[in-house]
């Protein structure tokens, strides 16, 4: 098949797969078995009203921040699965600054208050990520284990800070959440929708990631390191620096998004905004996007729509919201098999010997 044609078919194939997995799941597990109707509920739940559509967009925005971090990491050959923890650290710092003394000062600064809080979130997120990077570089600790442990530590730290009014728990002490942040630091949504200014940041971010990865020397070094670290080193690329920089960038993106979640929700919630599984979902988004920054936009929209839509499908059609994990998992498996199939077809086009070996 012609490569461009194959490239165009993939998104269609993906949506087809998603819809058919969902339909099958509804048939198998639904309580009122009409897949068409249930799928329609899903669509309406995700895009049916301005409120729903902007909620989808707001979640997709967070997912894109996360997924771009994953794209950069995976491109550099780093399995950074610590997005959730890095984002949580960003959120903690944003809340700690915003509800305390510095927050009142920052809130009075026009225009700069919100960016500064977000910047602090990004810095702390990247530091948290760098711990795993340093451990990998100098102690040989696999980054999968390192980032996983740091995830659990960050999530437990947030719970601890929210357990005591002397720390970050609200001064009433009733619910496990922080006080409301000053109005000057709130990222308020537009009118009655869920749309906020932070969502607009996604577009320049996507453009930056694409240019950085494919059109700058630094992005080239990153990709070269991921493809073959030994060869990259021989060509004079400082592999250690590239790896640490990638850890820092991914952590900064996650920390920024975590801080943004606090400014959008006006407080640090017990559960991360939008949900504690977005860190893993971002990996699915990045893989579906084929590790291409621009493709994370449609991929994130698809997954955010599934996430929002399955909520209303659960209420109306009796199909558990957890079906979204099944769809995500199967899509990742499909992507993996597709990778193998395409690398094999390349090999078989290349030489008859390789084909004989398959």
Partner 1 sequence: MDGNAAFAATVRIGTPLLFAGLGEVLLERSGLINIGIEGVMLAGAFSGFFASWYCQSPLVGALAGMIGGALIMLIFAALVLRFSADQIVTGMAVNLVALGLTGTAWMRLSREALAAPTFKTLDSELPGWSNVPVIGPLIFAQTPLTWLALASILGVWYYLERSERGLELRAVGENPAAAEASGVNVLRCRWKACLAAGIFCGLGGAFLTISQTASFAPNCTKGRGFVALAAVVLGRYGAFGTAAACLFFGAAFYSRDALPSQSLAPDLIEMLPYALTLVALCMKSQKRTAPAALGKPYGTN
Interface residues with partner 1 (CB under 8 A) are 25, 28-31, 79, 81, 131, 135, 139-142, 144-146, 148-150, 152-153, 156-157, 159-160, 163-164, 280, 283-284, 287, 314, 318-330, 332-333, 336-337, 339-340, 344, 357-358
CA distances from 182 to 93, 100, 178 (A): 15, 9, 12
List helix spans (H) across the chain: 3-29, 35-47, 50-75, 83-99, 101-108, 113-139, 143-161, 197-200, 202-215, 217-227, 229-234, 239-265, 278-288, 296-317, 323-350, 352-357
**Dihedrals φ, ψ of 310, to 5°?**
-70, -25
CB count, 10 Å around CB of 238?
13
Q: In the complex with partner 1, which residue's Cβ is closer, 52 or 81?
A: 81
Cis omega (within 30 of 0) for bond into 145:
no
Q: Are 20 and 327 in contact (CB under 8 A)?
A: no
* 133 versus 198: smaller Cβ distance to partner 1: 133
Residue 94 or 323 having the CB closest to partner 1: 323
CB of 85 to partner 1, least distance (A): 10
CB nearer to partner 1: give 6 or 339. 339
Min separation Cβ 152 and partner 1, Å: 4
Could you tell me the smallest distance in angstroms from the CB atom of residue 249 to partner 1?
A: 20
- Closer CB to partner 1, residue 53 or residue 347? 347
Both tokens of 294, joined, read: 């621009």
Provide the minimum distance between the beta carbon of 82 and partner 1 in the complex, in angstroms, as a whole number: 12
Report the nearest approach of partner 1 to the CB of residue 345 (Å).
Answer: 13
The H or E element containing residue 318 is none
Cβ-based nearer residue to partner 1, 283 or 308: 283
If DSSP codes are grouped into helix, strand and coil, which group holds residue 1? coil
Shortest distance (Å) from residue 70 CB to partner 1 = 11
């Amino acid at each position: 098949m012609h490569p461009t044609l194959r490239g165009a078919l993939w998104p269609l194939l993906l949506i087809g797969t998603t819809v058919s997995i969902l339909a099958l799941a509804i048939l198998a597990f639904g309580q009122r078995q009409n897949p068409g109707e249930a799928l329609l509920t899903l669509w309406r739940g995700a895009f049916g009203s301005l409120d729903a559509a902007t909620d989808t967009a707001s979640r997709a925005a967070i997912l894109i921040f996360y997924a771009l971090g994953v794209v950069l990491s995976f491109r550099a050959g780093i399995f950074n699965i610590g997005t959730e923890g890095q984002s949580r650290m960003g959120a903690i710092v944003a809340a700690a600054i915003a509800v305390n003394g510095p927050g009142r000062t920052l809130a009075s600064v026009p225009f700069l208050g919100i960016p500064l809080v977000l910047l602090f979130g990004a810095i702390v997120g990247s530091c948290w990520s760098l711990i795993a990077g340093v451990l990998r570089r100098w102690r040989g600790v696999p980054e999968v284990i390192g980032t996983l442990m740091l995830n659990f530590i960050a999530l437990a730290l947030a719970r601890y800070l929210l357990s005591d009014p002397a720390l970050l728990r609200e001064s009433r002490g009733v619910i496990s959440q922080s006080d409301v942040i000053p109005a000057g630091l709130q990222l308020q949504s537009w009118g009655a929708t869920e749309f906020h200014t932070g969502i607009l940041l996604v577009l320049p971010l996507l453009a930056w990631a694409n240019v950085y990865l494919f059109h700058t020397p630094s992005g080239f070094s990153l990709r070269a390191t991921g493809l073959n670290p030994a060869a990259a080193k021989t060509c004079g690329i400082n592999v250690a620096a590239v790896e640490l920089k990638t850890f820092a960038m991914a952590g900064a993106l996650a920390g920024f998004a975590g801080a943004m979640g606090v400014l959008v929700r006006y407080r640090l919630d017990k559960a991360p905004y939008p949900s504690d599984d977005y860190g893993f979902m971002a990996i699915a988004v990045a893989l579906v996007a084929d590790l291409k920054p621009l493709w994370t936009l449609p991929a994130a929209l698809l997954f955010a729509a599934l996430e929002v839509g399955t909520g209303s499908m659960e209420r109306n059609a009796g199909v558990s919201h957890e079906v979204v994990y099944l769809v995500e998992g199967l899509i990742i498996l499909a992507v993996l098999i597709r990778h193998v199939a395409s690398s094999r077809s390349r090999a078989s086009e290349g030489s008859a010997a390789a084909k004989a070996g398959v």
